[in-house]
Amino acid sequence: NSSNHVRIVEVGPRDGLQNEKAMLPAAIKIELIDRLSDTGLTTIEATSFVSPKWVPQLADAAEVFRGIRKAPGVVYPVLVPNLQGYERAREVGAGEVAVFTAASEAFNRKNVNASIDESIDRFVPVLERARADGVAVRGYVSTVLGCPYQGEVPVADVVRVARRLHELGCHEVSLGDTIGVGTPAKARAMLRAVAAEVPMAALAVHFHDTYGQALANILACLEEGVRVVDSAVSGTGGCPYAKGATGNVASEDVVYMLHGMGMTTGVDLDRLVETGAWLAGQLGKATASRVTRARTAA
Ligand code: HMG
Ligand code: MG
């Protein structure tokens, strides 16, 4: 892929906030998304319509989605695990959704209380309804480079699940290193294997930075041809059902690297840094973004 443009999928309001100890009020979440809408980001995952018993941090999904300013040219996908989630999302006008499963059976069981195939069965009707409604569906595959319960995850399992999601109608499949254990050569080999079955243009990469490998992994995947990268402003979050997993790679750090490489994102780094610093203040913790730390140092 010779394109110089990378689309950043900002997942902070969902993947970030779903696993923060601090429960932010809906008004602050709305302000976060509105601020992100002014940075030039074109995809902002706003929240998730999962069971509030499982993820209390996002129990206010409907209020948040209703409250955000829908900026022209920006899409606001939301996570849904089943038809019930899809219906809740549609009730408030969501125009794009994301379904999620994993390459590891053990992880999927902890995350959604179902086997991989059962979780896919649950969102087959979501994909059918979405097609009829003209709603785009993104698919996530978790634990593509390792699982907190099963350890190694065979690449063949990642390929099988990614191919299935694509066949079912997901326009984009995001490959998630949920616990941030991957390293660049492994990430590259995994992406290459998946891209043999699913077009590269339909793939995204999603790295958590637990072991500090996320930027290196992203670089390896860019070299392989991927042009969609998930990240979270200020590097917040993690997965509540993945023990020890820390936040997503920070959007500020990804944008800084890409611009430094002469690639374009359409994102205004200064505004993103401002938003990241503001969010860290709201959460009452230091930012996990090295760029924001450097730019806002006293
Ligand atoms: P379950 O308990 O097996 O489901 O949970 P159930 O169908 O038996 O329903 C139990 C109760 O939940 C019922 O309520 C349902 O109505 C309710 P009750 O009768 O007990 O009062 N319920 C719902 N309520 C609201 N919205 C819904 C919904 N569905 C059922 N959509 C379920 C199964 C999938 C619902 C649950 O396990 C769940 O919500 N899990 C979500 C876990 C989650 O959000 N994990 C984090 C996101 S994934 C991630 O972070 C990875 C990613 O970032 C990529 C990466 O990093 O790898 C995407
Ligand atoms: Mg994630």
pLDDT in tens, 157-176: 999 999 999 999 999 999 99
Half-sphere exposure of 296 (CA within 13 A, CB side): 23
**Which of 140-149, 197-206, 242-251, 262-271 has the lowest average pLDDT?**
242-251
**pLDDT tens digits along 55-102:** 999 999 999 999 999 999 999 999 999 999 999 999 999 999 999 999
3-state secondary structure of 239: coil
Which of 80, 91, 95, 82 lies closest to 47 in space, CA to CA? 80
Q: How far is the CA of 298 from the centre of ligand 2 (A)?
A: 31
Mean pLDDT for the chain overall: 96
pLDDT for the residue 275:
98
> Nearest 5°: CA angle at 180, between 178 and 184?
120
Interval 216-252: pLDDT, tens: 999 999 999 999 999 999 999 867 777 777 899 999 9
82 sits in the region (left: phi over 0; alpha: psi -120 to 50; else beta) called beta
Helix (H, G, I), strand (E, B) or coil at 240: coil
C-beta of 4 in contact with ligand 1 (< 6 A): no
138 lines ligand 1 (CB under 6 A): no
**Among 20, 51, 55, 83, which residue has the most ligand 1 atoms within 8 Å of its CB, making it the best to mutate?**
51
Nearest residue by C-alpha to atom 23 in ligand 1: 51
Q: What are phi and psi of 213, to 5 degrees?
A: -105, 0
Q: Which residues of 188-199 are buried (b: 16+ CB within 10 A; e: fewer)?
A: bebbeebbeebe
What is the pTM assigned to this prediction?
0.97
Ligand closest to the CA atom of residue 175:
1
pLDDT, tens digit, 9 for 90 and up, residues 242-290: 777 789 999 999 999 999 999 999 999 999 999 999 999 999 999 999 9
User: ipTM more than 0.95?
Assistant: yes
Nearest CA to ligand 1 atom 44: 50
Q: Would you give the DSSP letter of residue 79?
A: E
Structure tokens at 155: 């690449």
**What is the atom index within ligand 1 of the atom nearest the CA of 142?**
57
Q: Atom 46, ligand 1: which residue's CA is nearest?
A: 239
**Alpha carbon distance 205, 240 (integer Å):** 20
What pLDDT is attached to residue 298? Answer: 66
- Give the max Cα distance, the chain: 53
Instruction: Check if 221 is active-site.
Output: no
DSSP secondary structure letter of residue 213: -
Query: In this structure, what are the phi and psi dihedrals at residue 53, rounded to the nearest 5 degrees?
Result: -70, -30
